[in-house]
Amino acid sequence: MADVGAKPVTRREAVALSELRASPRALGLLLAGRLSKGDALAVARVAGIMAAKRTHEIVPLCHPVGLDCAEVSFRVGRGRIAIRAAARCDAKTGVEMEALTAASVAALCLYDMLKPVEQGMTIGPTYLGRKTGGRSGTYLRRGAAGLIDESRWG
């Protein structure tokens, strides 16, 4: 584990994005609330938030971070569910891993909830959209073809 003892506490925020691609039938059932496992978006939101809070238990060399906020939101579109996860805290180390873990677990949870309807779904890309705080300052991923544009999330 990296020694962060001498680093100053700063406000830190990270946003990660992912997506799950699924058939129109599967997404239609999700939107109609007709999945056998229940409300997939609500369950995936809670799963992502829970995962963000426990990232240090999942990723071996991550520091435990006391999150001030973890958020997961979705946009359902043509053949896909876009996932946006944000994490914020005042700490000596960043929250990129917490945001990435939240987005990843939310996608996995959606897969699990939709798999009775479809097994051919795909997850990804999953990536850091932006981060602020710390010594390295602000990072903002520039949009690329086929990727979710976090700056237009709204």
Task: Identify whether 109 is part of a domain.
Answer: yes
Greater pLDDT, 56 or 2: 56
Task: Identify whether 150 is part of a domain.
Answer: no
Tell me the Cα Rg of the chain.
16
Task: Identify whether 4 is part of a domain.
Answer: no
Domains: count for the chain: 1
What pLDDT, in 10s, does the model give residues 73-128?
A: 999 999 999 999 999 999 998 899 999 999 999 999 999 999 999 999 999 999 99
Domain containing 67 equals 10-133
Report the alpha-carbon distance of residue 140 to residue 15 in Å, rounded.
Answer: 10
Report the alpha-carbon distance of residue 26 to residue 119 in Å, rounded.
Answer: 10
Whether omega before 60 lies within 30 degrees of 0, making that bond cis, reads no
**CATH number, domain with residue 72:** 3.30.70.640
Assess whether pLDDT exceeds 90 at residue 146: no
Whether 90 is catalytic? no
Task: Identify whether 103 is part of a domain.
Answer: yes
Report the alpha-carbon distance of residue 67 to residue 113 in Å, rounded.
Answer: 27
User: In this structure, which amino acid lies at residue 132?
Assistant: T
Burial of 32 (0-12, 13-18, 19+ CB in 10 A): exposed
Task: Identify whether 88 is part of a domain.
Answer: yes
